[in-house]
Structure 1
């Protein structure tokens, strides 16, 4: 395959995979706070789960010794970042970076899920 032939390949959706120490606790957070629904799970006990909300999808994988990174695990775009920020604050979600307008044309904030995975949430302005 020549290097130029990659141009002929069309890429589809990419879904972030997040490691979590307790997959059921993570599911509770993503469903109850962020409104995601479980569309698939695998394993006995469950060790993998696919969550979906609108066009967004997150894949959770059980990893009991997971240690969160200090960089963002994924980026999500929403249509009302201020409303989601208020929801997260009211739910006691740990906010890493508060809501602010960025010089690159987004209003954004960074939250941490219960496992410390950092998620950058933004809206184009």
Structure 2
């Protein structure tokens, strides 16, 4: 992205694990600085520490946000993190899954994307 498009900053949602974390790792490896966005959880803290240690010359910014909050209150934290940064690449990768049988999870968990 940096070489081909001149991008310098990227934002990746759902970056605490899985595909989002690997997208962030790939972008950092291409020389971009990255804003990580995910739910507040220990896994997210560990992902940021791991990526920052692997790419010490890159900026890795962590933004805790629950994107399932329909009020959009989380947007202020993202706006603050982006600030004046020229973010040219955005990967909207956030997702949440409830495992188990449907009836084993509370109705509110199904409606909000938050485990009970």
TM > 0.5 fold call:
no
Larger helix proportion, structure 1 or 2? 2
> Higher relative contact order at CA 8 Å, sep ≥6: structure 1 or structure 2?
2
Larger Rg: 1
Larger strand proportion, structure 1 or 2? 1
Give TM-score, length-normalised by structure 2.
0.30
